[in-house]
Amino acid sequence: MTGEASDPRVARTRRDVVDATATLLLERGWDGVTHAEVARQSGYSKATIYTHWPARLDLIRSAIEQICDTDHHPRSTGDLKADLRASLLDFATDLTEGHLDRLLAGVVERANTSEVVRDLRGRLYDTGTRGMRSILESHLDAADIEPTLALLTGAVLVRVTFEGQPATESFIDDLVTRVLGSVVTQDGGSRAD
């Protein structure tokens, strides 16, 4: 390790700045992240922040990487419907209470302007769907995983973000039943059971 990388003060500074950036990104969206605002929120000088993150995209990338690295999914029980229900409710909560909608909006809006942002979009999608993908892989044929994942996550995203409605337990239950009704489980069992 280099001296700077092993210096606890540098590590603390990096942690504090990335924490402040992640908070700003989730609470205010992409446009709320500026070097000046991160400096104000983190308590470090703009010069310090510019030294480690010369561009605003550097700050945002570090924040998104942290958000992805600390993401947690509900524990799988082996019950397909129950696990999907828990995972989708968690996703809906992240969209509303965790302000994931703001984060996604900023990334989607800018994905066609930068390869870095396209990579971040992919990382967010992979991280956000990892739990559901794992559940589906345990129960469905490989060909059904991606379409099922898109139908489930897309419906919750549309409901919460575009329609502005809550993804209630009854909405999620109905969604899971309808989507699973169109696929066959690996054991050939009834689709929506």
pLDDT, block means (10 residues), the chain with 193 residues: 67 95 92 96 96 96 93 90 95 86 88 92 91 95 95 95 93 96 68 48
* pTM across the whole model: 0.81
Same domain, 78 and 169: yes
Same domain, 14 and 89: no
pLDDT at 1: 39
Question: Is 186 inside any structural domain?
Answer: no
Same domain, 60 and 101: no
pLDDT at 186: 59
| C-alpha span between 121 and 104 (Å, rounded) | 8
Same domain, 84 and 165: yes
| C-alpha span between 127 and 130 (Å, rounded) | 5
Domain that holds residue 96: 73-180
**Domain end: 40, 67, 94, which one?**
67
pLDDT at 123: 92
CA torsion 3→13→117→157, rounded to 10°?
A: 140
Question: Is 192 inside any structural domain?
Answer: no
Same domain, 128 and 82: yes
CATH code of the domain covering residue 37: 1.10.357.10
pLDDT at 71: 80
Same domain, 91 and 60: no
Total domains present in the chain: 2
pLDDT at 100: 84
